[in-house]
Amino acid sequence: MSFPAEILTENRSALVARWRSAFDREPPPRVHTSLMRRVLAWQAQVEASGLKVPPSASLPLRRPGKVSLLSPGTRLLREWQGTTYEVLVLPHGFEYNGKTYTSLTAIARSITGTPWSGPAFFGVKR
């Protein structure tokens, strides 16, 4: 089985157009062109084979809704550089220092001034 050889040399905008055509949606944000090429080649091979791929076997093209393992009302405590920080888990976000955030990462960045992973900073398992 083969795929269109152009996939290997097309620029990003052509790959995006091909992606839209193949999947009826935009590619994931910031997806690398090498990954786009592999996914498009795989899709072309599936189509050429005539096989039906069950939805459960296809690649996730949309990020599923975030499922939090933390229940609303949970309080997260983190001691960092001698100060204890407290975050309250809300039904749709987090409260820290009187402000609502959509992610723990934004809070960790606010506290440390560096690009920490929020779940790693607060010790939350995914």
Domain ranges of the chain: 5-57, 75-122
H-only helix segments in 3-69: 12-23, 33-49
- pLDDT score at 126: 59
- Walk across the sheet containing 93-96 and list its strands: 75-80, 83-90, 93-96, 99-101
Query: What's the distance, CA 65 to chain centroid?
Result: 10
Neighbours of 120 (CB within 10 A): 13
State phi, psi for 50 to the nearest 5 degrees.
Answer: 80, 0
Q: Judge whether residue 123 has pLDDT over 70.
A: yes
pLDDT per residue over 5-56, tens digit each? Answer: 888 889 999 999 988 888 888 888 888 888 888 888 888 888 888 776 655 5
pTM: 0.47
Q: What is the token pair recorded at 14?
A: 């052509």
